[in-house]
Amino acid sequence: MLRLGRREFDAHEPVIMAIVNRTPDSFYDQGATFGDEPALARVEQAVAEGAAIVDIGGVKAGPGEEVTAEEEARRTVGFVAEVRRRHPDVVISVDTWRHDVGEAVCEAGADLLNDAWGGVDPELAEVAARYGAGLVCTHAGGAEPRTRPHRVEYEDVMADVLRVTLGLAERAVALGVRRDGIMIDPGHDFGKNTRHSLEATRRLGEMAETGWPVLVSLSNKDFVGETLDKPVKERVLGTLATTAVSAWLGAQVYRVHEVAETKQVLDMVASIAGHRPPAVARRGLA
């Protein structure tokens, strides 16, 4: 059972986390939701299309102009409070690695801290514990925030993913973070080249077998683009294929740009796996 905010999710229930970028320089939308009204409209659309979680980020993952903690908080805290007011039941996640930003967004109503940089600020888990928030424990290969991988090597990439994410998860529990609010994330593209991310996908079952809910952030990423030699705006099909494979191998939470398309993929995989009945079953019955 995964419990986030007011929501509880069964082990076989796929969960969609919609990306809402509060940045002017996102690799994907180039600032389309930097303003409050477009961002709020994005939340409305994502929830209507089936997202249970919205993931709000104030700093893009890649290199770029410096964003201070104060500026990150300015982009996210008030927005979190407004989303909380409008959507009391939606799970609000904030993509941050900074404990002071984490504290501010939890005060504003966030339910989940998405630490994409692998515990680089160890106090973030303490904030999650103090506020009863969930926590995403990610493998980033020891990379510093907002850096790209350079000639990174692993003797066994999945062994390292498991060592790091399980260590972060158990540390979080020891600090008082609720066990049923913790997810582990292999960190596609973070501290990895394309072959590493492909192998991590191929071996996702090893993460699922640990019993921790697995979150994957696949949407339109560079490993998809390099695999298919496609630019950012032409990676949806590759993303959805990777989503289907990840679902079959046991991932539960999907951080995405395309909510409606992802929901169809996840519903189809769940039905094939026998966890969801067909929406309509008339063929051959009359």
Task: Please report the pLDDT score of residue 135 as a whole number.
Answer: 98
Other CB atoms within 10 A of residue 105 CB: 28
What is the per-residue pLDDT across 201-258, written as a single tens digit (0 to 9) for each?
Answer: 999 999 999 999 999 999 999 999 999 999 999 999 999 999 999 999 999 999 999 9
**Which residues are within 8 A (CB) of 203 and not within 5 positions of it... i.e. 6 or more apart?**
158
Task: Please report the pLDDT score of residue 187 as a whole number.
Answer: 98
At 62, give phi and psi (nearest 5°). -80, 175
CATH number for the domain running over 21-59+86-273 = 3.20.20.20
Interhelix angle 194-202/236-248, rounded to 10 degrees, is 40
- DSSP assignment of 225-274 equals HHHHT--GGG-HHHHHHHHHHHHHTT--EEEES-HHHHHHHHHHHHHHHT
Q: What is the mean pLDDT of the chain?
A: 97
Bridge partners of 255? Answer: 17, 217
What is the per-residue pLDDT across 210-225, written as a single tens digit (0 to 9) for each?
Answer: 999 999 999 999 999 9
Percent of the chain with pLDDT over 90: 95
- Note the pTM of the prediction, 2 decimals: 0.96
**For the chain, what are the domain ranges?**
21-59+86-273
CA distance 55 to 227: 26
